[in-house]
Structure 1
Amino acid sequence: MKKSLFALVALNGICAAAHAQGSVTLYGIVDAGLGYTSNEAVVSTAGKTGTPAVLVGKSAYTFTSGTWSGSRWGIKGKEDLGDGLAAIFQLENGFNIGTGQLGQGSREFGRQAFMGLTSTKFGTLTMGRQYDPIVDFVGSIGPTSFLTGMGAHPGDLDNIDNQSRENNSFKYTSPSFGGLTLGALYGFGNQAGSEKNQSTWSLGGQYVNGPFAIGAAYLVANNAYGSTGGTWTSAYDGTFASSINQGFATAQYQRIIAASSKYAIGPVTLGVSYSNTQYKASSFSLFQGKETFNSAGLTASWEATPTLRVAAGYDYTAGSAVEGQSGPKYNQFTLSSFYFLSKRTALYGLVGYQKASGKTLDQYGNVINATASIGDVANGISSAGDTQTLVRIGVRHTF
């Protein structure tokens, strides 16, 4: 009886020790406020192939959710397996705090859902729905780290502000080698008879040395070959929710080269960003040949006090010619301010303005005048004309 009691106590001790080596964390962000949108497009006559929609611009005053950071909650865990090796997982749900509706296409864990192994010696391998190297290495030091999604390149067509994730993906991230970190991702299309159909792959890296950081990445995402529909279907979500590039959602594939850099000088941080996004047509696409967008931006942030930060940015995006006509061009200006009431709660104010010119395609493949759509905050609420102004004020709380 004594031996059995001793064994039971010892077993409980082992279980307690094993439990102490692991951890599970619940976390999240809630972000809400008020917004003003000028010239928001309202469809008065529906469009179709050969006939563009008739749009009317109207001002909108709205409740806003997730302007600075998308509202979310998540669970992440880590179990120490010994010798610097650990098992990890993360499940993250996005939602609209104004309506309670799930985000990311009403997915339960649409923001992130992955598990894997991490090693202090060999790096990290994760599997599931996750971000690509553009987000990890470019976006983390890019314009949206200064200005929120308001400062993203128009439509976030290069995914610097993580509008897209990769399903069914494997991702490897190396340890840091003297400040240099490298990464690679492959997203399976899960299509019988084709390894390429709907697949995604990406490579990237980032170098950090004191106040200086620079990152670059390359991504190729394949659409569903042989499709006759007008939608994007890929392991990569795609960013076609605005007038910037919705006319190219039938592309055979999308290629992105993106880079960003920042340098801190005391309380001032300066940044520069660049991306090249290409859409290649196939026989089923609603456009011909190849459309290319080049975006370049400058940002500056000033930490005026430990609790007050202000930032400004300028972005220029130019698309190539559309069916022999002058391609679209977008000039975008953004201002932001952040006041921290505590480490977890902050107030913010954002203002964005954009001017569009040239020609582009609508979602039916019709040539139309380019219309404005600021950053990715205006995704889904593009302008009916060539200008747009957005104003947002709100409060963000993290837990």
Structure 2
Amino acid sequence: MLTKHHAIGAAVAAVLAMPMLASAQTNVTVYGIVDASIRRADNANAAGQSVTSLNDGVYGTSRWGLRGSEDLGSGMKAVFTLESGFDPSTGTLLNADASANNGFGAAPNGRLFGREASVGLDSPLGLVTLGRQYTLAHPLSGRFQPQPNPNLAAISMFSTHHVARQDNMARYYKQLGPVGVYASYTFNEGNGRGRGVGATYTAGPLDLTAYYQEVNNATNTATRGIAGAGGSYAVTKDLKAFLGYMKRNDRGTSAQENDVWSIGVNYNLTAPLVLTVNYAQDRQSGINAGKRKMGYVGLDYNFSKRTDLYAEVDNNRLSGAYPLPTFMGTRDSATSFSVGLRHRF
């Protein structure tokens, strides 16, 4: 029979064990990137003049977020991600507002977690996540680019066509040996319906990716189909090559079609210094037929695993009736350069 002192001791031990047990089962991480760049943009206004500005990052956007998981036992985990974008040059929120077209979802009152807000369940059957998330085309196309879908529009091709994020999305992922399978469905709640499938194959130095997704506009009167395929190959431990292709096909209110090719490399010149070279071409047909050709060269110096200094030079040329991008003031070619400082936490 337990004495009074034994009972009190057992109760205290049980209370002390509770936070330890919770700590062992639950994990929450605060993370982020602060990335600011100075850019000298050629042909940046209607007069064809150059403009110098302080901006968000070139390759990626500044952000902060919370990511967590809880071990539920039997190989199951609950997971969540909350991620907010911001412009370090002003401190204002990014991804806070958007039109209702093509699955973005209108946000008249703004958003705190405009980059991602999802909760999910990871089990032996796969990972299912629900909420505002990346479409399949965005992360999968990033796997065959030397800088995955850069933030700077002047050096980005694929993300100008596919929708990066959608509200009200359910996503599925399962890894089966070297093969990864993906699926997504976006519920139509005033932001259009969406669906997608994708697969990856990774074996040694080779990484292959293929996907297809469709997104509707808010009124479901037009559908944008995006199909992509490509991959990367680690030629040596210092040299990695990338090749990718994407097809855009609009049906409904527009007959626009686009064929985008991209080829590039990342090369470790020294332990802290990485060279990036990328060339891409977008051929538009159906309406406003023409081409956009883009190339850039970048150098990235890593002070540490968290902090790096980078610089890039890019060139854009248009032909035919290809639509004038927002970063160009006239149809003349544009050669511009940027320097940025990035810190991860």
TM-score by length of 1: 0.77
RMSD of aligned residue pairs (Cα, Å)? 2.1
Relative distance call for 1:94 and 1:147 in structure 2 (3 A) is closer
Q: Corresponding residue for 1:185?
A: 184
The equivalent position to 1:340 in structure 2, one of 277, 302, 315, is: 302
Q: Corresponding residue for 2:248?
A: 277
1:397 paired with 2:343, answer: yes
Percentage of identical aligned residues: 29
1:385 paired with 2:323, answer: no
**CA deviation after TM superposition for structure 1 residue 183, in Å:** 0.6
Task: Deviation per CA, 1:211-247: give whole Å up to 9, x if none.
Answer: 1101111110001228xxxxxxxxxxxxxxxxxxxxx
Q: Corresponding residue for 1:237?
A: none
The equivalent position to 1:256 in structure 2, one of 214, 217, 226, is: 226
Q: Corresponding residue for 1:309?
A: 274
Q: Aligned equivalents of 1:381 and 1:187: distance in 2?
A: 31
Q: Aligned equivalents of 2:37 and 2:141: distance in 1?
A: 28
Q: Corresponding residue for 2:293?
A: 331
1:113 paired with 2:117, answer: yes
**SS of the residue aligned with 1:7?**
helix
- Give the residue type in structure 1 aligned to 2:157: H
- Give the residue type in structure 1 aligned to 2:144: I
**CA deviation after TM superposition for structure 1 residue 11, in Å:** 3.7
* Count of aligned pairs: 326
Q: Aligned equivalents of 1:148 and 1:166: distance in 2?
A: 18
Task: Structure 1: give runs of 5+ residues left out of the alignment.
Answer: 42-54, 192-196, 227-250, 283-288, 361-369, 374-379
1:224 paired with 2:218, answer: yes
Contact 2:178–2:201 (8 Å) recurs in 1: yes
**SS of the residue aligned with 2:42?**
strand
Superposition pairs of residues 1-399 of structure 1, within 5 angstroms = 1-2=4-5, 3-41=7-45, 55-104=46-95, 105=97, 106-119=110-123, 121-145=124-148, 149=152, 151-153=155-157, 156-159=159-162, 164-174=164-174, 176-191=175-190, 198-225=192-219, 252-266=222-236, 267-282=238-253, 290-322=255-287, 327-360=289-322, 370-371=323-324, 373=325, 380-399=326-345
**CA deviation after TM superposition for structure 1 residue 187, in Å:** 1.0
Contact 1:223–1:252 (8 Å) recurs in 2: yes
- Give the residue type in structure 1 aligned to 2:342: R
Task: Structure 2: give runs of 5+ residues left out of the alignment.
Answer: 98-109
Contact 1:38–1:59 (8 Å) recurs in 2: yes
- Give the residue type in structure 2 aligned to 1:117: L
Q: Aligned equivalents of 2:161 and 2:143: distance in 1?
A: 14
- Give the residue type in structure 2 aligned to 1:272: L
**CA deviation after TM superposition for structure 1 residue 147, in Å:** 7.0
Q: Corresponding residue for 2:106?
A: none
Contact 2:56–2:62 (8 Å) recurs in 1: yes
Q: Aligned equivalents of 2:155 and 2:36: distance in 1?
A: 18
Relative distance call for 1:102 and 1:62 in structure 2 (3 A) is same
Q: Aligned equivalents of 2:170 and 2:312: distance in 1?
A: 36
Contact 2:58–2:150 (8 Å) recurs in 1: no
Q: Aligned equivalents of 1:136 and 1:331: distance in 2?
A: 23
**CA deviation after TM superposition for structure 1 residue 386, in Å:** 3.4
**CA deviation after TM superposition for structure 1 residue 138, in Å:** 2.5
**SS of the residue aligned with 2:329?**
coil
Q: Aligned equivalents of 1:117 and 1:40: distance in 2?
A: 46
**CA deviation after TM superposition for structure 1 residue 5, in Å:** 5.0
Task: Deviation per CA, 1:291-334: give whole Å up to 9, x if none.
Answer: 10101111022111111110211111111142xxx712111111
Q: Aligned equivalents of 1:383 and 1:215: distance in 2?
A: 35
Q: Corresponding residue for 1:48?
A: none
Relative distance call for 1:212 and 1:146 in structure 2 (3 A) is farther
**CA deviation after TM superposition for structure 1 residue 143, in Å:** 4.0
Q: Aligned equivalents of 1:309 and 1:19: distance in 2?
A: 39
Q: Aligned equivalents of 1:256 and 1:383: distance in 2?
A: 28
Q: Aligned equivalents of 1:107 and 1:148: distance in 2?
A: 19
**SS of the residue aligned with 1:290?**
coil
Task: Deviation per CA, 1:152-207: give whole Å up to 9, x if none.
Answer: 217x3334xxx721111110001x2221101111111225xxxxx71111111111
Relative distance call for 1:343 and 1:268 in structure 2 (3 A) is same
Q: Aligned equivalents of 1:298 and 1:384: distance in 2?
A: 26
Q: Aligned equivalents of 2:230 and 2:294: distance in 1?
A: 17
**CA deviation after TM superposition for structure 1 residue 36, in Å:** 0.8
**CA deviation after TM superposition for structure 1 residue 146, in Å:** 9.3
**SS of the residue aligned with 1:9?**
helix
